[in-house]
Structure 1
Amino acid sequence: MKQSMRAKRMARHHKRNQAKSKLSLVSLMDIFTILVFFLMLNASDVQVLQSDDSVSLPISTADKAAAETLLMLVTPSEVLIQGRKVSTTAALARKEKRALEALKAELDYHTARKSQLPEEKASQQATAQTMAQSITMSITIMGDSQVEYAVLKQIMQVCASAGYTKLALAVENKSDTGSALSAGGMQ
């Protein structure tokens, strides 16, 4: 059976258009590269403080984002610094000397760890005064809303005596979109 002219023309047309249906991956890869860079640059808006189920933070309208500092967790039963148990809240409420000394010792330990510089940099430092000025001593206290203020005040006094002059209390931010952790600072 012989093909008509129309059928031949359609067959030629289909053969020509089959070669042009390739997908250009170069532009697609460019788009994904730009998307990855965009997400990497804008991913810095992450929550710094980890919420803990054992601590119910007070609710506030603080708008200052929390910075990454030494973290002290004060639950109704115990006090933890960077996840390490230091004392009990009841012992601090009774103003036991041993509990206060343990808290101060742990803070001094973290101060010593933070102030240790590599030997190369230490030899380049002119005086001990410039070393002390270059180290900013700040701490964020995540205190449970059930903990008495007198205990928190006592903890803040121990922090100040250990050299942590920049104190921040973590609160749960009450906003229209939901809740996030914030830190209100005191100096």
Structure 2
Amino acid sequence: MKLTPLQKRAARLERNKSEVDVNLVSLIDIFTILLFFLLSSATGVETLSSPKAVKLPQSTAETSPRETVVVVVSHDDILVSGRRVATVAEAMATEGDLIASLKAELEGLPGAAPEQPPAQSKSVTIMGDKDIPYRLLRKVMYTAARANFSDVSFAVIRKYEAS
């Protein structure tokens, strides 16, 4: 009996038919890369972006930064959340420790309303240049306290000790 080309092809396919093998090596590679990426990107370490004009001091701080209002104090300006509120010269020239423009800006932030219950502490992170005078830093801290920011943190560069 002579088979047609179509029948020959069908017979050959039937003869060579086997169970479908799934190559798991490539799937394992993909899942390993995906797992490595997820673990490395979800380590829970937060960093604050530091302006180039501010050189932060080094410290052996153990706590990680959290999201708060950021006050940047450079050699020239005082910024709140990236917006300039005063110059360092103006702040140093003011009588007393209160910087009025900084206090007004901090009080005008969303979530910084004075009618908040006192049990809920408001946090501020001061990112000050390592060479600013202590007198200026004291004025910024005093002003933040007068604007009802009771939890004050300082941004530093983590210095790792050789053990």
TM exceeding 0.5: yes
CA contact (8 A) 1:54 1:75 kept: yes
Distance 2:65 2:144 in 1: 18
Matched residue of 1:71: which SS? strand
TM-aligned CA deviation for residue 137 of structure 1: 0.5
Quote the residue 1:171 is aligned against: 156
Quote the residue 1:144 is aligned against: 129
1:145–1:41 Cα change, 3 Å: closer
1:174–1:68 Cα change, 3 Å: same
Q: Is 2:58 aligned against 1:59?
A: yes
Quote the residue 2:111 is aligned against: 114
Matched residue of 2:111: which SS? helix
> Which residue type is aligned with residue 61 of structure 1?
T
Matched residue of 1:132: which SS? coil
> Which residue type is aligned with residue 93 of structure 1?
M
Aligned identity (percent) is 35
- Counting only pairs closer than 5 Å after superposition, residues 69-108 of structure 1 correspond to structure 2 as 69-95=68-94, 100-108=99-107
CA contact (8 A) 2:106 2:112 kept: no
Aligned length: 146
TM-aligned CA deviation for residue 46 of structure 1: 3.0
- Counting only pairs closer than 5 Å after superposition, residues 37-52 of structure 1 correspond to structure 2 as 39=38, 43-52=42-51
CA contact (8 A) 1:138 1:165 kept: yes
TM-score of the two chains, using structure 2 as the length reference: 0.72
TM-aligned CA deviation for residue 146 of structure 1: 1.4
Distance 2:121 2:43 in 1: 22
> Which residue type is aligned with residue 60 of structure 1?
S
TM-aligned CA deviation for residue 90 of structure 1: 1.3
Distance 2:30 2:117 in 1: 48
TM-aligned CA deviation for residue 160 of structure 1: 0.3
TM-score of the two chains, using structure 1 as the length reference: 0.64
Matched residue of 2:121: which SS? coil
Matched residue of 1:151: which SS? helix
Unpaired runs of 5+ residues, structure 1, are 1-14, 117-127, 178-187
CA contact (8 A) 1:57 1:145 kept: yes
What do the CA deviations read for 1:121-160 (whole angstroms, capped 9, x no partner)? xxxxxxx6xx514643010000001110100001100100
TM-aligned CA deviation for residue 172 of structure 1: 1.0
Q: Which runs of 4+ in 1 moved over 4 A?
A: 18-22
How well do the aligned residues superpose, as a CA RMSD in angstroms? 3.6
